[in-house]
């Protein structure tokens, strides 16, 4: 519950943060399964209702095997994880993490860019980038912006208006994602569009998509 989350047990927090750092490095290097393994272990620790004082306490829990036990033990013993210090201080890893945080740049492209000598987002402006990555870079700061709850409401109202008027009055926009869970802010707005009669109109499968995109485009939502 939020109570536990709020005053997270200090040592658990250290463990979680440390493992998350290492996980992030793996992710930005394209080592997806190892990344996922870390995430699983992290989620398990996040769910604990007690503070870890000995690695044995989490032995056997989901996603925690020998490797994680050893890392947790080291963190408990020394207050930190040497592996974490090593990987995060490496300049190449730092660049990889930075680049892969750009929408449209994954581990492979990031690696190529680093090999070409690029290190900062400023550098990337001069790089040859695929359209998607170019777009991600141009909107990098904006993409990190959070959307206040009230603003999401405005977007939804606008959306309903658009769907009703320009597409099909029967279309029902359903909110999903963080906003539906009443989060104070959202990173994006997830909307599911349903049409009660669509089951009997299989042939019109793609029609709505085009209409919806056009409506959003005319409204200035999409370029």
Shortest Å distance, C-beta 151 to DNA = 19
Q: Toward DNA, which CB reaches closer, 71 or 155?
A: 71
Q: Toward DNA, which CB reaches closer, 22 or 215?
A: 22
36 binds DNA (CB under 7 A): yes
Among 14, 57, 83, 195, indicate the residue that binds DNA (CB under 7 A). Answer: 83
Q: Would you say 15 and 58 are in contact if contact means Cβ atoms under 8 Å apart? A: no
Kindly state the DSSP code that residue 31 receives in the 8-state scheme: -
34 binds DNA (CB under 7 A): yes
Among 12, 16, 24, 38, indicate the residue that binds DNA (CB under 7 A). Answer: 38
- Could you tell me how many helices (H) and strands (E) the chain has, helices first? 12, 4
Choose the binding region for DNA from 119-127, 129-137, 155-163, 164-172 (rule: CB under 7 A).
Answer: 129-137
> Which residue is associated with the tokens 């945080």?
101
139: Cβ contacts below 8 Å, ≥ 6 apart: 103
Kindly state the DSSP code that residue 58 receives in the 8-state scheme: G
Q: Which residues pair with 191 in a beta bridge?
A: 175
Q: Would you say 105 and 136 are in contact if contact means Cβ atoms under 8 Å apart? A: yes
Task: State the CB neighbour count (10 A cutoff) for residue 203.
Answer: 7
95 binds DNA (CB under 7 A): no
Would residue 125 show up in a list of annotated catalytic residues for this protein?
no
Residue 139: its H or E element: none
Kindly state the DSSP code that residue 61 receives in the 8-state scheme: S
Binders of DNA among 56-75, rule CB under 7 A?
61-69, 71
Q: Toward DNA, which CB reaches closer, 3 or 33?
A: 33
Active-site choice (62, 66, 71, 85): 71
Q: Which residues pair with 144 in a beta bridge?
A: none
Among 42, 107, 159, 212, indicate the residue that binds DNA (CB under 7 A). Answer: 107
Choose the binding region for DNA from 33-41, 158-166, 195-203, 210-218 (rule: CB under 7 A).
Answer: 33-41
90: Cβ contacts below 8 Å, ≥ 6 apart: none
Cite the active site residues.
71
| Site for DNA, rule CB under 7 A | 22, 30, 32-34, 36-38, 40-41, 61-69, 71, 83, 100, 102-110, 130, 132, 136, 190
């Amino acid at each position: 519950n939020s109570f536990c989350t709020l005053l997270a047990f200090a040592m658990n927090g250290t463990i979680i943060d440390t493992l998350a750092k290492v996980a992030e490095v793996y992710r930005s290097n394209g080592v997806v399964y190892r990344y996922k393994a870390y995430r699983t272990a992290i989620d398990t620790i996040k769910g604990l209702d007690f503070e870890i004082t000995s690695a044995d306490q989490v032995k056997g829990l989901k996603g925690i095997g020998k490797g994680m036990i050893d890392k947790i033990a080291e963190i408990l013993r020394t207050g930190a994880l040497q592996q974490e210090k090593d990987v995060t201080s490496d300049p190449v890893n730092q660049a990889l993490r930075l680049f892969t945080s750009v929408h449209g740049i994954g581990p492979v492209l990031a690696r190529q860019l680093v090999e070409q000598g690029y290190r900062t987002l400023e550098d990337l402006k001069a790089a040859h980038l695929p359209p998607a990555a170019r777009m991600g870079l141009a909107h990098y700061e904006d993409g990190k912006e959070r959307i206040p709850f009230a603003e999401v409401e405005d977007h939804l109202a606008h959306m309903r208006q658009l769907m009703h008027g320009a597409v099909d009055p029967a279309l029902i926009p359903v909110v999903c994602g963080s906003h539906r869970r009443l989060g104070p802010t959202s990173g994006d707005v997830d909307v599911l569009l349903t049409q009660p009669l669509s089951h009997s109109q299989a042939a019109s499968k793609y029609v709505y998509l085009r209409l919806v995109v056009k409506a959003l485009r005319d409204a200035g939502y999409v370029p």
